[in-house]
Amino acid sequence: MLQETILQQKVERNKLIQIDYQPRCYHEQVEKYLKSNLMKLITGPRRAGKSVFSLLLLRGKRFAYLNFDDDKLLKEFDEEHIMQVLKEVYSDYDYLLLDEPQNLPNWDLWVSKLYRRGYNLIITGSNSNLLSSEMASLLTGRYLSIEILPFSLRETLEYRKSNFQPALPEDKADFMLQVEDYFHYGGYPEIINNRDITESYLKTLFDSIIMKDIVRRYKVRKVEELYQFATYMISIFTSPFTYSSITEELGLSSKTTVQKFCTYLKNCYLFFYLPRYNHKLKLMQKAPQKVYIVDNGFLSSSAFQISENKGRLLENLVLLEFIRRKYEIGKNLFYYRNQSDKEVDFVVRENNVVRQLVQVCWDMSNPKTQKREIGSLMACAKDFPNGELFVITWNEQKEITMNAKIIHVIPYYKWCLSYSRN
């Protein structure tokens, strides 16, 4: 029975590697690590393309494949028997791809054993806390971790074979329509060319994340409370919150419950929490965090009944782009509010020095809006004299000089497409 299951998974694997997929921008970075003995951890939200990315990485190479999102495999699992069957099914292989092994009880002990035996492992998982503390200690310096998010704007446009530098007005208009489509509906690969199913797809995906990645994994009993909490967090995206404020607002049983739910939703990559920058760690931990969601499609889908606010949607996209650029929330990416309650959306720290202050504003054509946004940016910039100043807009580009400082105003799409990982 186990052999039949693994044979069936091999058939599925062989079909998948024949499909012509959109290459991800992480590919070249990770491929050079394949021949090393490092364990490769590919993490990210459900349906973002982790398995496809791993298969693309291993295409043309000899590898065995086990998918632990398959209930049959979970029920039939026996660690010695499964390795024997793998030898029979694949005869010889250089890599072992384990898809979502955290669904397996005590999976980390088994994987640690495989690592010690010399297997070259590629592991995917829809949990940012993929390694237990014990396994992380064991493997310190011996694994590479990479996060796969839904498609970026660049990847979406490449997938659609868009012209990045349209010359004719009609081509520019078509290009902006595609950028706007991404702005509203996000980058989940399966719906980029099938927007008619966006609402039902994302509702089903949301339910799957809640049930499979949280309720089942963490044995949550208060399922209705969890749904209520997650839906509320979607409604306040880009807004500051504290555990106490949510506990009171939703009438939940305790602040501890809120803390747990926040952790669960963060670990499954549904939400990100951006702390307020402060030189003192204790004050930073006490300050409100701002909540962001992993894809704008969840926000624009009427399934979640979120009223559109273009400025907030744009801010959410900018946060996601920073994450794709490997900035780490709470380590070198924050928001900031000064003592006069002037706020800047993002501050970027490098080598313990704030190097960039980034404000997000949909449209600064109104002089009052420009005065407000630039005023907040300049007020906060006084605390960070080495910071380069940016305002990311929808479609405005210019430079503003104020108090001997240059403020770079740049459209979101140009900011995204100008970035190179190399």
pLDDT band at residue 28, thresholds of 50, 70 and 90?
low
Shared domain check, 345 and 335? yes
Mean pLDDT of 31-55: 88
Mean pLDDT of 117-127: 93
pLDDT on residue 23: 80
Among the listed residues 360, 350, 293, 301, the one whose alpha carbon sits nearest the alpha carbon of residue 320: 293
27 pLDDT above the threshold of 70: no
132 pLDDT above the threshold of 70: no
Shared domain check, 248 and 138? no
CA 152 centroid distance within chain: 10
Let me know if residue 361 belongs to a domain: yes
SS3 letters across 125-162: ECCCCCCCHHHHHHCCCCEEEEECCCCCHHHHHHHCCC
H helices of 236-309, where? 243-250, 255-267, 281-286, 296-300
Contact 16, 87 (CB under 8 A): no
| Beta-strand runs (E) in 79-226 | 95-99, 121-125, 143-147
pLDDT band at residue 388, thresholds of 50, 70 and 90?
very high
pLDDT on residue 129: 81
The pLDDT tens digits for 258-292 are: 999 999 999 999 999 999 999 888 888 899 999 99
Please give the residue range of the domain that contains residue 367.
309-422
Question: pTM here?
Answer: 0.94
The pLDDT tens digits for 306-353 are: 666 899 999 999 999 999 999 999 999 999 999 999 999 999 999 989
Shared domain check, 350 and 259? no
Among the listed residues 371, 410, 413, 370, the one whose alpha carbon sits nearest the alpha carbon of residue 388: 410
Instruction: Please count the structural domains in the chain.
Output: 3
Residue finishing a domain among 307, 335, 350: 307
Let me know if residue 14 belongs to a domain: yes
Mean pLDDT of 126-140: 74
pLDDT on residue 135: 66
With tokens 């005023």, the residue in question is 375
pLDDT band at residue 208, thresholds of 50, 70 and 90?
very high
pLDDT on residue 29: 66
Q: Would you state the torsion angle of the CA atoms of residues 392, 351, 289, 310, taken in this order, to the nearest 10 degrees?
A: 10
Let me know if residue 180 belongs to a domain: no
Higher-pLDDT residue of 241, 280: 241
pLDDT on residue 203: 92
Shared domain check, 346 and 298? no
Give the separation between CA 200 and CA 382, rounded to whole angstroms.
47
Q: At what angle do helices 255-267 and 243-250 cross, to 10 degrees?
A: 110
Shared domain check, 256 and 132? no
pLDDT on residue 94: 95
Give the separation between CA 311 and CA 97, rounded to whole angstroms.
41
Contact 153, 49 (CB under 8 A): no
Shared domain check, 326 and 394? yes
In the chain, % of residues over pLDDT 70: 95
